[in-house]
Amino acid sequence: MKEKIRDTATQLFLERGFKSITMDDIANEIGMSKKTIYNEYSNKTELIEDCVMHKFCGLSDGIDLIIAMDKNPIEELYEIKRYVLSHLNDEKTSPQFQLMKYYPKIYKNLKNLHFNKMQKCVMSNVERGLEQEIYRDNLNAEFIARIYYSGMNSIKDQNLFPLDKFPVSKLMDAFLEYHLRGIVTPKGKTILNTIINSNQE
């Protein structure tokens, strides 16, 4: 029962935002009484925290599986981007910013987890790219990881990048290409161009 509530609530929160969705909305969507939900969760904040952490852990596990496939680092970043996009509904209502505004403690915890995960993944990606000579040999892996994290967060700001001008999937593609073109070697550039061309076909 708890899993059904969490999965339904997560879907609704991602589609319409954390503030917009009420416990009544969730109960109606599942076809159960609100009292049943309160048997599992004492309040909406507790439910949101469970949804957010479960979603993060699921995405984190999926990213780990992609990394374990041992693709070349450039292809790996594109695979991770596709995977994350497919599980976040394009963030149409910018749930991250609603979370930041209305549930700051949950947001802060999620942000720390996200930062640590991305640092680890990107630093590993850069180090493997250096070993394979597809990234420039003068890179500082920690700097690249931090600037990548900063950029990924910036492009989610819909005041800077309004959805009508910058659809999420195209924006992420543009950012990823921008990031990679700054760090690849000629060998890496060939791989990058092949991936970009295949994505456009």
**Residue range 97-146, pLDDT digits in tens:** 789 899 999 999 999 999 999 999 999 999 999 999 999 999 999 999 99
> What pLDDT score was predicted for residue 92?
56
| Separation of alpha carbons 79 and 87, rounded Å | 13
Cα distance between residue 105 and residue 111, in whole Å? 10
Quick check: is 119 in a domain? yes
- Position 159 pLDDT exceeds 90: no
Q: How many whole angstroms separate alpha carbon 191 and alpha carbon 201?
A: 16
Place of tokens 């999620």: 110
> What residues make up the domain containing 138?
49-200
Is 42 a member of any domain? no
The answer to whether 54 touches 113, Cβ cutoff 8 Å, is no
Residue-wise pLDDT for 47-87, tens only, equals: 999 999 999 999 999 999 999 999 999 999 999 999 988 88
Total domains in the fold of the chain: 1
List the structure tokens of 70. 């041992």
3-class secondary structure, 191:
helix
- pLDDT one-digit tens code per residue, 30-58: 999 999 999 999 999 999 999 999 999 99
Helices and strands, number each (H, E), in the chain: 10, 0
Q: What is the pTM of this model?
A: 0.87
Give residue 86's pLDDT. 86
Domain CATH number, residue 65: 1.10.357.10
Q: Place 94 in a pLDDT band, splitting at 50, 70 and 90.
A: low
